[in-house]
Amino acid sequence: MSRLLLILLGAALPILFFTPSEGGEVGVCYGRVATDLPDPASVVQLLKKNGITMVRIYDTDPTVLRSLANTNIKVTVELTNEELPLAAADQNNFALQWVQSNVKAYYPATLINGVTVGNEVFKEASQLNSQLVPAMKNVQAALAKLGMADAVKVTTPIAFDALNPSFPPSAGTFRDDIALSVMSPMVDFLQQTGSYLMVNFYPYLAYLATPGMSIDYLLFRPNNGVLDTGSGQTYFSLFDAQLDAVYYAMEKLPSSSMHVGGMRKLTAGGGTPEVHHGEEGHPNKGHGGVGTPQNAQDFMAGLTHQVLQGNSGTAAANGHRPLTASAVRGTPHRPNADLNVYIFALFNENNKPEDDQDFGLFYPNQQPVYPNPIDFVHGGTSGGPLQPSYCVANAAVGDAALQAALDFACDNRDGNRADCSAIQPGQPCFEPDTKLAHASYAFNDYYQKNGRVKSACDFSGAGTIVNQAPSGACDPSPSWCVVNAAVGDTRLQAALDYACGPGAANCTDIQPGARCFDPDTKVAHASFAFNSYYQLRGRATGTCDFAGAGIIVQQAPKIGNCVLPSTAMR
């Protein structure tokens, strides 16, 4: 139903106005470029167990499509870049044959709802640029002939670098080599068929390419926002900014179907098709340190929360952006847009180029990669608050192995390993002077510094991860995170909600009647929550930032009768 019609009906029959909209949806990319993945039937069980309702696959593999039958999981299939020229030429009804045997043959038992024609054609197969829209039209015509044009939408995923410039969002423009020749007719086609443009987004790439950008802005954490001087809008996530850049770029394309020259945004309903996220990825390893399980979790938790709960009330209450006066579902430029996102990817894929392997939500053995798995039903994470975690040395490996690991951990020439100055003779953590105590100190420093990735507590078997602060552990320079009272209540509340949000600190102790409820002030409660979050995150860089609302202190703070700990508590 068109938005216009909905509004008209809503005015006549107010009850309809409150019918929940379709809302956004989160799916996953089920890539299979790996040698060690579970069989498709097991994968379907994994999807169901996690409440995942849509998948995107990169082919039309019969076993996969049959495994997805009768599951109610929506499936987007791909006509590959290799098949694309055949679909464009369409000799001997290639497109019709293709749709018949790869879509119709499985539908409706397998709920195929989209066909992607090619993938990142401009980037991966630019010699096919001119054939892209003709291929899409032939596939569309084939679907129409088979009576499936309403149920199955035709689109193509493009890489975000199809835009230049892409910042600020209001300056978003498609590259010259594709704007008029490909994007303009494609957007007309998508508009006419009620389909959507797909864009593959990897915001961490823009983060890495932009010195000075706040990682909080990338990871949906509280931050000061980035002003788009063109539109006057402030963006609180790179996700919103990139999506809006695509909308602005589409609006600048001339439309062949428009009788009066002008921009698409002047027409009703925004004048452009929706943008769906064909891939939205963040690495769980590597990429200059931005890829860690915790960072990937923060990114996907913020993303899923925004898609499933919106940016309004609840989202603000979880601190993903400051409270706003009006309820917002989409982005600053498209506040009413429903977000549809495929997370890249379901699994780590060991047969991809090394830089592309570690994007999975799950390891091939189906264990979650993130410390707290993503909640696909409500957004955010499931599995309760963050748990403390430390790395200790394992006496059983013997002194020689401990010494070797200690030498490695303390070789801090590049600044990324442990700071071992406190365990030198005469320094505060020299006693007890045992290899075990020194190794535990160094291992833990290294582990916390490296974002608590499992591999940072390996040390060839000499390290073990534990969830209790080791007794007698030496802390030469304790620190705490408390509120910087100079920030206003609105920002404080947003940061407090983030610190106590899903997958963050356990804030039971500041609930009414609990140990640290008194004094009942925002500053006291936020200090408790900030400190708890900071300690739980191993005091890692940036974990006491809260968009300027937190400050690190070296003196034990005391707030009423509530003593803020200098180690992580559950």
Ligand X SMILES: *[C@@H]1O[C@H](CO)[C@@H](O)[C@H](O)[C@H]1NC(C)=O
Residues with a known catalytic role? 120, 279
Encoded one letter per residue, x for contact with ligand X by CB under 6 A and - for no contact, window 325-364 reads: ----------------------------------------
Residue with tokens 């005391």: 558
Identity of the residue, 59 or 509, whose beta carbon is nearer to ligand X in the bound complex: 509
Interface segment toward ligand X; rule CB under 6 A; list 291-299, 312-320, 359-367, 504-512: 504-512
**For residue 184, what are its two tokens?**
């303009």
Among 419, 509, 551, 565, binds ligand X (CB under 6 A): 509
Q: How far is the CB of 503 from ligand X (least distance, A)?
A: 12
Q: Are strands 562-563 and 558-559 parallel, antiparallel or unpaired?
A: antiparallel
CB of 533 to ligand X, least distance (A): 13
**Locus of tokens 């835009």:** 163
Using the rule CB under 6 A, is 521 a contact of ligand X?
A: no
CB of 517 to ligand X, least distance (A): 12
- Give the nearest distance from C-beta 467 to ligand X in angstroms: 10
Strand (E) or helix (H) holding 554: none
Shortest distance (Å) from residue 294 CB to ligand X: 18
**CB burial readout 204-216, b (16+ within 10 A) else e:** bebbeeeeebbbb
Q: Please name the residues in contact with 92: beta carbons below 8 A apart, sequence gap of 6 or more.
A: none
DSSP tag of 200: E
Under 8 Å between Cβ of 396 and 387: no
Q: Which residues contact 376 (CB under 8 A, 6 or more apart)?
A: 26, 50, 51, 52, 53, 304
Nearer of residues 14 and 513 to ligand X, judged by Cβ:
513
By CB under 6 A, the residues from 378 to 437 that bind ligand X are 384-385
Q: Coil, helix or strand for 479?
A: coil
Contact 345, 28 (CB under 8 A): yes
Stretch that binds ligand X, among 63-71, 155-163, 199-207, 502-510 (CB under 6 A): 502-510
Task: Report how far residue 154's alpha carbon sits from residue 203's, in angstroms, rounded to the nearest whole number.
Answer: 25
Select from 112-120, 270-278, 375-383, 505-513 the region that touches ligand X (CB under 6 A). 505-513
Residue placing its CB nearer to ligand X in the complex, 183 or 516:
516
Which residue of this chain has its Cβ atom nearest to ligand X in the complex?
506
Q: d(Cα 112, Cα 48) in Å, to the nearest integer? A: 17
Minimum CB distance to ligand X, residue 478 (Å): 20
Candidate ranges 266-274, 294-302, 451-459, 501-509; the one touching ligand X (CB under 6 A) = 501-509
For residues 456 and 446, is the Cβ–Cβ distance under 8 A?
yes
Residue 148: what residue type?
M
Nearer to ligand X, 442 or 562 (CB): 562
| Contact status: 508 vs ligand X (CB under 6 A) | yes
Which residue, 309 or 506, has its beta carbon nearer to ligand X? Answer: 506
Around 6, how many Cα atoms within 13 Å sit in the side-chain half-sphere?
10
The minimum distance between CB 385 and ligand X, in angstroms, equals 5
Of 130 and 508, the one with the shorter C-beta distance to ligand X is: 508
Please state, in angstroms and as integers, the Cα–Cα distance from residue 219 to each residue in 51, 102, 204, 521, following that order. 23, 38, 9, 28
Choices 54-62, 117-125, 298-306, 506-514; region in contact with ligand X by CB under 6 A: 506-514
Nearer to ligand X, 489 or 520 (CB): 520
Q: Is the dihedral of CA 289, 294, 296, 301 positive or negative?
A: negative
**Least distance in Å: CB of 384 to ligand X?**
4
Regarding 458 and contact with ligand X (CB under 6 A), the answer is no
Inter-axis angle of helices 522-536 and 489-499, nearest 10: 40
Closest residue by Cα to residue 246 from 176, 184, 199: 199
* Residues 6+ positions from 365 with CB-CB distance below 8 Å: none
570 contributes a contact to ligand X by CB under 6 A = yes
- Residue nearer to ligand X on the CB measure, 315 or 516: 516
Distance from C-alpha of 530 to C-alpha of 37, rounded to nearest angstrom: 40
Rounded Cα gap, residues 423 and 439, in angstroms: 9
Residue 364 to residue 498: CA distance in whole angstroms: 31
DSSP state of 461: G
The distance from CA 402 to its chain's CA centroid, rounded to whole angstroms, is 38
Q: How far is the CB of 507 from ligand X (least distance, A)?
A: 8
Among 193, 233, 506, 535, binds ligand X (CB under 6 A): 506
- Closest contact distance (angstroms) between CB of 570 and ligand X is 4
Per CB under 6 A, 468 contacts ligand X: no
d(CA 292, CA 219): 12
Q: How far apart are CA 169 and CA 161, in angstroms?
A: 13
- With CB under 6 A as the rule, give the number of residues binding ligand X: 6
- In angstroms, the CA 292 to CA 541 distance is 14
By beta-carbon proximity to ligand X, the closer residue of 467 and 541 is: 467
Which one, 387 or 424, has the nearer CB to ligand X?
387
| Burial group, residue 426, by CB count within 10 angstroms (0-12, 13-18, 19+) | exposed
Question: What is the contact surface with ligand X in residues (CB under 6 A)?
Answer: 384-385, 506, 508-509, 570
